[in-house]
Amino acid sequence: MQENVPNDRGSRARGAWTWVLLQFVIWLLIFKVLAGVAELNSSLGVFFRVHILIIFWVQLVFADLLYIFTAYWCSSIKSVSGFMEVAGLRRYPPNSSAYFILGVIFLSCLSVYGALHGWAGHNLKTPFLLSRGLVSVRLFHAFACTMAPICEEVTERGFVFPAFRDKYGLMPAILISCCLDIFYHQPVTIESGFIFCGQFAFTIVMCLIRERTSSTWTCIIAHSLSNAIIGRQWWWIALVGGVYLATVGKGRFAKNGLAN
């Protein structure tokens, strides 16, 4: 498996920067789509609004899947198993991750407190999705607690952060990751100083989780739990918490997919 993993730090860093540039282009396209959808939504009838909603969801899911595909392509790793190894997807959350999970819970509760006091900014896609009815609301929360954390953490903490850490060192890699996360979560991170600081702190914790636990699954679970708390989705909080308790301390994945 290791023969498929590039050992040159420079090539991994170049691959990571290539991914960043690709995501910048994708982000600009998505932002244009979201702005167009929001504008059309206010002027069209119900029939067309339903179709716009479908288009919106398709491009949102497609964009997240594209995140992972482009990361795999930019990594220059030939096998999926090799990419999983490099991306930290072959290790369960260790027992020591509990301290980081508590830190994420604290930051998430602080975000809820800020939102209740009007300190949070305006997210372009959230009000659009939450105003489309119960089904769209359920889909939004499911997406925020499953697909979004998986795609973001596999690419950013699994692939990009280790490549930058090996090339530039821990602190520069964390700083680059913070800048990327703040940029990709525009406009809410720019409009609200509270959200800006919260996103900065959250990214630092995510990078430290990846660094200290070597498990991207810990990052995924922490991110999912954070989104569930911020969305005040108690069912998802219980589900994600149960997944964490069921997997913590299991060690590494064996080749057959089971723990050693």
Range ranked top by mean pLDDT from 43-57, 107-121, 218-232, 244-258: 218-232
Determine the distance from the C-alpha atom of residue 24 to the mean position of all C-alpha atoms in its chain, rounded to a whole number.
15
Query: Which range is least confidently modeled, 101-105, 179-183, 188-192, 213-217?
Result: 188-192
Report the pLDDT value the prediction gives residue 185, as an integer from 0 to 100: 79
User: How many angstroms separate the CA atoms of 60 and 85, rounded?
Assistant: 27
| Conformational region of residue 121, where left means phi above 0, alpha means psi within -120 to 50, and beta covers everything else | beta
Q: Residues 25-54, buried b or exposed e (16+ Cβ, 10 A)?
A: ebeeebeeebeebeeebeeeeeeebeebbe
Confidence bin at 128 (pLDDT 50/70/90) = low
- Summarize pLDDT for 130-179 with one digit per residue, the tens: 555 667 777 788 888 998 899 999 999 999 999 999 999 999 999 999 99
Predicted pLDDT of residue 106 = 94
- Using CA atoms, how far residue 259 sits from 87, 246, 255, in Å, is 17, 12, 9
Give pLDDT, residue 160: 94
pLDDT, tens only, 68-117: 999 999 988 888 988 999 999 999 999 989 999 999 999 999 988 888 88
Residue 138 CB partners (closer than 8 Å, separation 6+): none
- Spell out the domain ranges in the chain: 8-247
Q: What DSSP letter does each residue of the chain carry, written as one string?
A: -GGGS---HHHHHHHHHHHHHHHHHHHHHHHHHHHHHHHHHTTS-HHHHHHHHHHHHHHHHHHHHHHHHHHHHHTT--SHHHHHHHTT-SBPPPTTHHHHHHHHHHHHHHHHHHHHTT-S---SHHHHHHTS-HHHHHHHHHHHHTHHHHHHIIIIIIIIHHHHHHHH-HHHHHHHHHHHHHHHTTTHHHH-HHHHHHHHHHHHHHHHHHHHH--HHHHHHHHHHHHHHHTT-HHHHHHHHHHHHHHTT--BB-TTSSB-
> Which band of pLDDT confidence, cut at 50, 70 and 90, is reported for residue 45?
very low
Is the pLDDT at 17 greater than 70? The verdict is yes
Which amino acid belongs to residue 18? T
* Residue 160 φ/ψ, nearest 5 degrees: -70, -50
pLDDT attached to residue 1: 40
